[in-house]
Structure 1
């Protein structure tokens, strides 16, 4: 799994927000460990309460579900 840069994550989130015109959609990003999963959620714009969930996978990575 390739680590996503902070700039790429910020761009990914901003593009998702621009295209939704106020409608929030659940999205998923797979991160290689829990620390990077938490870091992803705190990149601008940070996720608020109830807007994200992190789930461990059997391969040791983490799925990050977030609203955007």
Structure 2
């Protein structure tokens, strides 16, 4: 059974992509070429979520700093 989860933040996407990549890597029944393509796609998606997450963290820090200074 598939575990249901909400995907609200980039970190949620990163965790899901890591889980799916590991499942693909451990599945010996899949065609190696198709598996490589799927892993490449998921890795790219994971990288995009990582970059988005970094940007959001930086923005939140800036917002907090501005609020502390009364802006």
Return the TM-score normalized by structure 1.
Answer: 0.31
Richer in helix (by share): 2
- Is the strand fraction higher in 1 or 2? 1
TM-score (norm 2): 0.30
Bigger radius of gyration among the two: 2
